Chains A and B, each alone.
Chain A
Amino acid sequence: MRKIWMMGVVLLAFWVARGTAEETKVHPPYKGKGVGPVDTLVLADTINPEMAKKGAEIFKLKCSACHALDKRVVGPPLDGVTQRVRPEWIMNMILNPQEMLQKDSLAQALLGQYYVPMTPQNLTREEARAVLEFFRQNDAEKTPKNAD
């Protein structure tokens, strides 16, 4: 049973990792919020463009050495990430990667696939939130509105 479940997680990891926009609509997202400082996040329906702009700058400075939106660099491409995992999980993965890699099954499965651990970059919670907003904006722009 545990093995089947693990296989599921690994498959999910592959899918999260592949993450092209057209595929994200059919699969249910990973339910876990991850482990870390972000427990519950209430998001507005609309995107805050100013926050997203700040997030884009932070992404360029702190994330782009390993991540791109549309292709694998070191870590997974991040197009569609907000549809594949919960916003809390994204922020916890940014803010608390070491513990996530110890405790969260999806984070572990991703490490198993990419081999290089997600590295902490000392973002503040506010900065991580801005990066999330940048992902949300990116996904909103790239995903057709009538996806489901």
Chain B
Amino acid sequence: MKRWPWLWLSMLAVLAVGLVGAAKVKKLARNAAKKVYVAPGEYDEFYAFLSGGFNGQIGVYGLPSGRLLKIVPVFAVNPENGWGYSEETKPMLMTSQGFIPWDDTHHPELSQTDGVPDGRWLFINANNTPRIARIDLGTFHTAEIIEIPNSGGNHPSPFTTQNTEYVVAGTRFSVPIPQRDMPIANYKGNFKGTFTFVKVDSKTGEMSIAFQILVPGFDYDLAHCGKGPSHGWCFFSMYNSEESHTFLERNASQKDKDYIAAVNWKRAEECLKEGKGEKMKTVYYHNYWDEERMMAVSEKKTSVTILKPGKCEGLVYYIPTPKSPHGVDVDPSGEYIVPGGKLSSTISVFSFSKMLNAIKNKQFAGDAYGIPVLKYEAVLHKEVPNLCLGPLHNEFDTRGNVYTSCFISSEIVKWRYKEGTIVDRIPVYYSIGHLMIPGGDSRKPWDKYVVALNKITKDRFLPTGPELAQSAQLIDITGKKMEMLLDFPTMGEPHYAQGIKADLVLKRQVKIYRLENNHHPFAVKSPAETKVTRKGRRVDVQMIAIRTHFTPDNIEGIRVGDTVYFHVTNLEQDWDIPHGFAVYGAKNTNILIMPGQTLTLKWVPKSPGVYPFYCTDFCSALHQEMQGYVRVSPRNARVKLSWAGAGL
């Protein structure tokens, strides 16, 4: 020790530095932990709605904690609560292609009033079999689904106008319109796209297709509508102006510039008034939840109104945009349009007022199938070079910054879109797709956090084999530098997301369905009303569930060959007391009935016997006792229909 004092000293120094460094990291982690900590029993500040992507649903999370609060079933059947399994909900998934049990959801969009999310409804698109759904944020229940005809790949959807006058849809995959048999090689000039404007009733939220604009067969990718001065316009980005039909990876990436389509929907309204729309025969479904009868209704529609840009001057313009742009986002003021360059590391910020001038002064650089192409320089506000690799999407704060997700370089870049200067970068793990600031696509962002929705998870969480949850990250954006706060796993693959201050949704919450408003045709509200009736081979069981029994709970006189419908009314009027119902061998196994609700389970018994049924949701201390039996006799038996139970 005496011989090597310097060695010992230096080792001590290294240790000291290490300890200080570790303490610093710990302190940082502590600060971040404080910012995302929501104490037991307390609420998160924001609701976040993340699309489930290939699970077809919407995930509801609390921010800043990142806690999963609910999966709202939308475009896929959901065993957790019987969505698409109960007879009442099956019609919601009807389409022109029949019953579709599983689709791909992409972009949640909150309804807006005056350009600000209002907490009334949430819309989301089905990408594969084109549809738009509306979720009621009082009940977190899908209230309506409308199919979009004349479409393939409903990707640029369902972005809203400033007062939710419309939500839009568009064709990522152009198709023959109307659909017909033809060689794929004849794509060019023959395949078409559509922009669909779905009218939303301002009081009820009810959706109807107002009109479809027939456009050239490019791949329309994403959209956002204008606000403030640009209210009245919607913008659709696109790739494949090459109109390739094969090996798009290369063939659709040849040109220097593709387009953003600027659509003047107020002009469309004028043209429709002038009778310039054409009725076209088609088939699509409109499914809605009848609140009073507590069941879905499915309607088949047979015509839409088509508008052709050639017959309505000033309806659509193309803005040249480098290079296969992905997102197209409008800043809170409504003046700046910021695309995601995707294959271009230079971002072109466009000016809405310049665009209007260019239109006025006819500064065109030709046309595409008769649609005027505006001069790039005439619309350009600023080019921002070397932003990042693979810029995809943009969200805004209130301080003149835009946050861009960069897929290839795996980062979020914060930059000033008016000045074109880069402010900050933060790495994200890994390969970010979308990003979301609550209200970040509206006129008034709640600009406290940005959520990174990453496409690749790899090693971020305890591994779960080859298939992993997706990885989201919460980043504080209140300071000069962005600060990473939290990783949290998300279900399915969140494409876009929306966030809103919780109180706007909290105040609308429905806790129970009031029994007096339940007009389900098979509802019964007291034991005396319960009954079992036979019509030929159909048997309807009208039963009640209340802690902790079913009435009736003994049923006899069912025969093999019967189809039995159990209509179960949950008599509870207390928040969060659902009852479940399952009967041996039922193909859909189980329904989950909310307080005051009636749901129906279909059952076709296969052979004689006595079969148990029971409640599947732990509801009281005597939940295990919440059970009963159905006796099934041979087809030719003469057992009389009878039933018994508490209160009878």
A residues near B (Cβ < 8 Å) are 60-62, 64-66, 68, 73-74, 98, 115-117, 119-122
Asked if B357 lies at the interface with its beta carbon under 8 angstroms from chain A, I say no
Asked if B551 lies at the interface with its beta carbon under 8 angstroms from chain A, I say yes
* B interface majority secondary structure: loop
Binding stretch for chain A, among B71-79, B222-230, B567-575: B567-575
Asked if B622 lies at the interface with its beta carbon under 8 angstroms from chain A, I say yes
Contact between A68 and B647, CB atoms less than 8 A apart: yes
Contact between A115 and B528, CB atoms less than 8 A apart: no
Q: How far apart are the CA atoms of A60 and B529 in the complex, in Å?
A: 10
Contact between B573 and A74, CB atoms less than 8 A apart: no
Contact between A65 and B544, CB atoms less than 8 A apart: yes
Asked if B527 lies at the interface with its beta carbon under 8 angstroms from chain A, I say yes
B residues near A (Cβ < 8 Å) are 512, 514-515, 525-528, 544, 546-549, 551, 571-574, 577, 620-622, 646-647
Contact between B574 and A119, CB atoms less than 8 A apart: yes
Contact between B574 and A65, CB atoms less than 8 A apart: no
Contact between B551 and A65, CB atoms less than 8 A apart: yes
Number of A-B contacts (CB under 8 A): 55
Provide a sorted-by-A list of 29 A–B residue pairs whose CB atoms are within 8 angstroms. Answer: A60-B526, A60-B528, A61-B526, A62-B526, A64-B528, A64-B647, A65-B526, A65-B527, A65-B544, A65-B551, A65-B647, A66-B646, A68-B647, A73-B646, A74-B549, A98-B574, A115-B621, A116-B547, A116-B548, A116-B622, A117-B620, A119-B546, A119-B573, A119-B577, A120-B573, A121-B571, A122-B512, A122-B514, A122-B515
Q: How far apart are the CA atoms of A73 and B512 in the complex, in Å?
A: 25
Task: Count chain B CB atoms within 10 A of each CB in A116, A120, A122 and give the residue with the most.
Answer: A116
CB distance from B538 to the nearest CB of A (A): 26
Q: How far apart are the CA atoms of A74 and B573 in the complex, in Å?
A: 16
CB distance from B627 to the nearest CB of A (A): 15
In the complex formed, the residue of A with least CB distance to B547 is: A116
A residues near B549, Cβ cutoff 8 Å: 74
CB distance from A117 to the nearest CB of B (A): 7
Contact among A61, A66, A119, A122 for B525, CB-based, below 8 A: A61
Contact between A117 and B647, CB atoms less than 8 A apart: no
B residues near A73, Cβ cutoff 8 Å: 646-647
CB distance from B517 to the nearest CB of A (A): 11
Contact among B527, B573, B622 for A122, CB-based, below 8 A: B573
In the complex formed, the residue of B with least CB distance to A59 is: B526
Q: How far apart are the CA atoms of A65 and B515 in the complex, in Å?
A: 14
A residues near B620, Cβ cutoff 8 Å: 115-117
Q: How far apart are the CA atoms of A117 and B621 in the complex, in Å?
A: 9
Contact between B528 and A66, CB atoms less than 8 A apart: no
CB distance from B41 to the nearest CB of A (A): 16
Q: How far apart are the CA atoms of A77 and B622 in the complex, in Å?
A: 19
Q: Do A119 and B647 contact each other (CB < 8 Å), given the known contacts A61-B525, A64-B527, A65-B527?
A: no
